[in-house]
Each structure stands twice: as C-alpha cells, then as structure tokens.
Amino acid sequence: MSVNPHHDTHRHARPFPPQHQSRQPGREHEMNPEPEIIREGYVGASRLTGQNVLITGGDSGIGRAVAVHFAAEGAAAVGIVYLDEQRDAEKTAALVEAYGATCVPIPCDVRDPECADEALEVFHKAAGRKLHVLVNNAAAQWPRDDVEKISLEQLDATFRTNVYSYFLFTQAALPHMPDGAAIVNTTSVTAYRGSAHLVDYSATKGAIVAFTRSLAAQLVDRRVRVNGVAPGPIWTPLIPASFDAEHVAEFGKKTLMRRAGQPSEVAPCYVFLASADASYMTGQVLHPNGGDYISS
C-alpha cells in the first residue's frame, strides 16, 4: 500500500524553496515541499506484527515517518505524543490507520514532568498495558551563534525537551515493557561533529548518546534493548521553524550526497532497531546522514 501523496522521483536533485516558519514546533502542512514520509512501493515484512509502540514527537517529520513505517510493518497500536500541532497529528493518524493499525494521538508537552505518566495512561486505555517499543524522538532547537546569548530559559527548554523527556518517558514505559522490548532514541550527527550555531542542542544530542549506551548496559538483564539513530540534515518542520529562508534554501548541500535526506530515508533505521532483526544489537547508534563519516 502507498499512502504518500508527495513522492517525487526527482527530489534528490531539487533545492528547497526559501521559507521560514515563525514558531516552534513547525508545521509540516506548511512546508514546501512537504517531506516524503514513506517511499512509494514500500512493502512491510511484518517485522512488528501485533506490537504496541509509542513515539514522542510523532505527529510530523521523522516521528510521523516512524509511525507510518511501524504501521506498515504490522504494529497493532501506534501512540503519537505531540505538543499542539493538531492538523499534523490528524494527518499522521490517518496515514497510520490506512495500514490497519490503531493510532492514539496524545497532545502533551513533554517538558511537563507529568506528561509521560499521563501519556502512558492514555495509551494504555486505548491499546492495553503492554508497550513493546518506545521511540524517544521529541526535540527542539533555537540557533544561537554566540554561546553567551543562550539564555537560561532557552537552555532549560532545550534540555527539558531533548533530554529530560527521554528519561521521564523511559521511566514511565519500563514497567509495561516485556522481555524483548526495545527503546530507540533519536540523537543527531551534531552529537559527533558539533554545531557552532546549535551548541545547546548538540550538547543534548551528545547526552542522548551517553544515555543510550548507559541505559543499554543497565537494561540488558531485563532483556530490553536500547539503541539510537543519529540523523544528519533531514527535511522536517524543525528546519524552517529554526532557520531563516536563506539557510533553508541551502539546507543539506554540505553533505557528501549534496542534499538533505527525507524522513522516509531515516525511518527504516527505527524499524530495524525495533524489530527482532536487531536482536543482537544494544547500545548502538545508526547514522543515516548523507555520507558523514562517524569515528566514535
């Protein structure tokens, strides 16, 4: 089944039109072009049949692509946690349900210490008490070229969104995760090569790598695998919501492949790490980044 109306066989060569969105989180339906969520002709292989999964930041971008791919792989229920992007969340729910999965949209601010417990309760009422896969994916970034201009308020918001929420959702999810369950964390290429204009964001992504490795060691005896994905420049709502129009028009051109990636090119990494195909992998990070060589 193909549910992607935005597939474009020439997407690899086309630059993005200059554009900017004035608030975070960004809106996927306002992007030009909208991201490719799942490639035309994608055929699932029943890798996640009957499983319940929960994705933070699941309404758009990489989170939406992961939700749709999980549904295509036979997931029974897909929970998507999002802030307030109702239109995008409704679109994601329709895409997920087109594959026969139940979608559970959960509006919730992951910066709120109560959000994780409340989200899990909503999900359990709709899908049952077991959670087989948790994808910690919510993220925020506010570029600053001068570290002295990063306010305490920005620092707090970035770490609460990108790091604290990963701890809180993991703590809320673990009591409901059976043997063989999986946690997949979204980090970033910036954790490995840094970013001069995203110092606080990069710091959070480095923390997620350490969190992933440490948590994997702690949970191995509970038979819960913990891995991560470190995307490079990917065309998501975070980009026009973070950068000016000129930057957006050049986005991704510095990669070895000279283009940004699409969410459809990242989500299969999550499918693999969530599935039994990755049963001998924990504490690892995959790197869909357009050709950057990662040495550590």
> Is a pLDDT exceeding 70 seen at residue 38?
yes
In a domain, 133, yes or no: yes
Q: What are residue 52's phi and psi, to 5 degrees?
A: -100, 130
Per-residue pLDDT tens for 99-142?
Answer: 999 999 999 999 999 999 999 999 999 999 999 999 999 999 99
pLDDT the model gives residue 295: 77
Catalytic site includes residue 192? no
pLDDT digits (tens, 9 = 90+) for 186-230: 999 999 999 999 999 999 999 999 999 999 999 999 999 999 999
Catalytic member of 166, 201, 280, 293: 201
Q: Mean pLDDT score of the chain, rounded to an integer?
A: 94
Structure-token pair, residue 109: 């601010």
Is the distance from CB of 106 to CB of 123 less than 8 angstroms? yes
Rounded mean pLDDT, 233-254:
91
Q: How many domains does the chain have?
A: 1
Residue 135 lies in a domain: yes
- Do the domain assignments include residue 26? no
Residue 234: inside a domain, yes or no? yes
Radius of gyration of the chain from its Cα atoms, rounded to whole angstroms: 18
Is 15 contained in some domain?
Answer: no
**CATH for 163:** 3.40.50.720
- pLDDT of 5 over the 50 cut: no
**173 in a structural domain:** yes
Per-residue pLDDT at 96 exceeds 80 = yes
Residue span of the structural domain in which 273 resides: 48-286
Residue 233 above 80 pLDDT? yes
Q: What is the pTM of this model?
A: 0.94
Q: Would 37 be classed as within a structural domain?
A: no
Q: Over 80: is that where the pLDDT of 263 sits?
A: yes
Q: Which segments of the chain does DSSP mark as H helices, in order? A: 61-72, 86-97, 115-127, 152-159, 165-173, 190-193, 199-219, 238-242, 245-249, 267-274
Instruction: Tell me if 291 is assigned to some domain.
Output: no
Q: Is the pLDDT of residue 9 over 70?
A: no
For 229, the token pair is 């994905």
Give the CA distances from residue 31 to residues 75, 245, 267, in Å, rounded to whole numbers and listed in that order: 28, 12, 19
Strand order in the sheet with 52-56: 102-107, 77-82, 52-56, 133-136, 182-186, 225-229, 285-286
Q: What is the pLDDT of residues 181-190, one digit of tens each?
A: 999 999 999 9
Give phi and psi for 46, each to the nearest 5: 55, 35
